[in-house]
Structure 1
Amino acid sequence: MITHTFHLAAQSVRALLRQPFFVLISLVQPMIWLLLFGELFKRVVELPGFATTSYIDFLIPGIVVMNVLFGANWAGMTFIEMMQQGSLDRMLTTPLRRGALILSSLVYNSITTVVQTTIIFLVGWPLGARFTLGGVLVTYAAAILLTGAICSISNAYALVLRSREALIGLSVMLALPLAFLSTALLAQDAVPGWIRTVARYNPIDWAVTASREAMAAAPDWAGVGGRLGLLVLVTAALAAVATRTFDSYRRSI
């Protein structure tokens, strides 16, 4: 499983590096998000409910998580391309471990997430954002776990829907509510009560809240650990679901 995962992930990384323009876009996008949202909402911290005077400090975890959501959401496109090319069918006739196909997708997208998250931190620093080592490490962990969860569900959709248009429509339909039914852009006390209630069960909010709490002067490490633990469970469950969808796909070909 490890060997197959490594080779498939390395193949995806090499394919990415052969497309310099796509690499550039993937690096520039987080900076654009940070600069635009940072300027657009910088005075929102004057509203009641914000425990900080720096919106950049508040925004960094939200941008990291939203970047993961809207990036990993398209992971299933790779499987659709493989179906159309016939390469997925050929792979399924080999001794290749089915789980390696899913894990390699998670590894590849996690590498992209780490690079983009690093860029967000580097751009945020000169803008006035200040970080703690523990907060940075928790943010990386939350982003990687969320990447695994989003990639898994996207891959499962792709194997079931088998259509670019259907995957795009469903991905957008789910991503926008998940993003805005969280505290990615606004403090918990500044959003309506019903959104706060929904956010408690939203993995996007778990990742954002864990990262922000770890950045605090006196972090609640029990709360941080609890939310990361929930992300581990969700990621493992969705990865298992995505792997199982190969069975239904294989029976249909």
Structure 2
Amino acid sequence: MTAELTATPAPEASFGTQFGAVLMRHLRLLGRQPAYLSISLMQAVIWLPLFGSLFRHVADVPGFDGGRSYLGYLTPGVVAMTALFTSGWAGMGFIQDMEGGVMDRLLTSPARRGALVAGPIAYQAVMITIQTVIIVVLGWALGTHFRSGPAGALVLLVAAVLLAAFISGLSITLALLVRNEESLIAASQFIVLPLTFLSSAMMPRDLLPGWIATVARYNPVDWAITAGREALGADPDWTAAGWRLGALAALAVATGALAARAFRTYQRSL
């Protein structure tokens, strides 16, 4: 615990310094858990060929989003799924800090609540960036054609990071409210799995049942997937991708602010 607390922001530090200290603390903790890091990265490697092989005949269904292989269609979906499942656990670090007494000591310091939230979210962004790069490179190696080149891949990466920031903020908020691992796990699964399957991650929206297709239009996960697909196409629709990125950014800011405010509820419960 002593080693962990050495990363606590100094009282006189600026927001940027506090944010950097919190981010570095999480990166150092990750380095002490090589198994978790390896599994997280391998997840990105496994999902694309696994789902690509399992659902490859979807491309033969009449009405499929034409002209591309199923693997090319699936790649943005796997990127979004990976971001969703990884960031859904962002609140677990807060639970561990609560149980270890680290959170109480941080909250009695002058550390800014925004920095305590922004640091873990930035850590999630680092993880998602690495995973997205792996998926994109793997998709390219398996024959996926990114017709718009690096610009489209960059939009896909931004979409994944914004989705992860949104879900991370939500997970942190839930952690501060429920304050135990079992409840957070249940809440995370309740959110993550429906958001995955109520999207066009594995099936074009036009082929989804009517009510699911309607829900998917308002699903932030689908926004990230669609933004990536629009940007990676031969004739990218940058406007369609742009407004979805803007909506994801707004949600990320909103859940980050909500997480910072959730500290008040946690403190009142002490």
TM tier, smaller: over 0.9
Q: Would you say the 8 A contact 1:75–1:155 is kept in 2?
A: yes
Q: Aligned-pair distance for 1:41? A: 0.8
Matched, 1:45 2:59: yes
- What do residues 114-171 of structure 1 show as CA deviations (whole Å, max 9, x unaligned)? 0001110111112101222121011110011001000000000000000100111111
Q: Aligned-pair distance for 1:228? A: 0.6
SS in 1 for 2:141: coil
Matched, 1:111 2:126: yes
Which residue in 2 is equivalent to 1:242?
259
Query: Identity, % of aligned pairs?
Result: 47
Which residue in 2 is equivalent to 1:27?
41
Which residue in 1 is equivalent to 2:185?
168
Q: Would you say the 8 A contact 2:44–2:135 is kept in 1?
A: yes
Which residue in 1 is equivalent to 2:102?
87
- What letter is aligned with 2:42? V
SS in 2 for 1:94: coil
Matched, 1:99 2:105: no
Q: Aligned-pair distance for 1:52? A: 3.0
Q: CA separation in 1, counterparts of 2:251 and 2:42?
A: 29
Q: Would you say the 8 A contact 2:205–2:216 is kept in 1?
A: no
- What do residues 66-99 of structure 1 show as CA deviations (whole Å, max 9, x unaligned)? 0011111011000000000000000001110101
Matched, 1:228 2:242: no
- 1:1-253 equivalence runs, <5 A: 1-50=15-64, 51-131=66-146, 132-253=149-270
Runs of 4+ in structure 1 off by over 3 angstroms are none
- What letter is aligned with 2:237? D
Q: Aligned-pair distance for 1:49? A: 2.5
Task: Name structure 2 gaps, 5 residues minimum.
Answer: 1-14
Task: Name structure 1 gaps, 5 residues minimum.
Answer: none
Q: CA separation in 1, counterparts of 2:28 and 2:143?
A: 35
TM-score, length-scaled by structure 2: 0.92
Q: CA separation in 2, counterparts of 1:87 and 1:171?
A: 23
- What do residues 1-60 of structure 1 show as CA deviations (whole Å, max 9, x unaligned)? 111111111111111112222211111111111111011111111112222341111011
